[in-house]
């Protein structure tokens, strides 16, 4: 992917990014679309990962964290292919990792 296309994806203008959100304790429904740049009123956005060519993203998230991929605009500079896998960690494994640290 050339630098110009990479910059276009990084801007977020064409979508395609992964967004991780906290379900929160308030009355707001996190599944209702809101602009991710509006952090002044909605602080439940935890992480945005823009599409980057040939990249592996490993994300450890709690049960209360939602993940979605923003729609890709028809005017996007290229296509996007995702491979996704989720697995559950056993609590004892997570506890052992924190003891070793």
> Which pLDDT tens digit goes with each residue over 44-68?
788 988 888 888 889 988 888 888 8
Which of 71, 89, 93 shows the shortest CA–CA distance to 80?
71
pLDDT at 39: 45
Could you identify the residue written with the tokens 């203008």? 13
Q: Which residue has the higher pLDDT, 42 or 76?
A: 76
Read off the pLDDT of each residue in 74-94 and give the average, rounded to a whole number.
76
Q: What is the pTM of this model?
A: 0.62
């Amino acid at each position: 992917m050339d630098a110009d296309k990479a910059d276009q994806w990084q801007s977020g203008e064409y979508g395609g990014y992964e967004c991780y959100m906290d379900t929160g304790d308030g009355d707001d429904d996190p599944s209702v679309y809101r602009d991710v740049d509006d952090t002044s009123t909605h602080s439940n956005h935890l992480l945005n990962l823009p599409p980057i060519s040939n990249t592996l993203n490993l994300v450890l998230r709690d049960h209360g964290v939602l993940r979605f991929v923003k729609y890709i605009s028809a005017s996007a500079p290229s296509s996007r292919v995702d491979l996704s896998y989720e697995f559950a960690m056993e609590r004892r494994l997570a506890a052992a990792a924190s003891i070793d640290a």
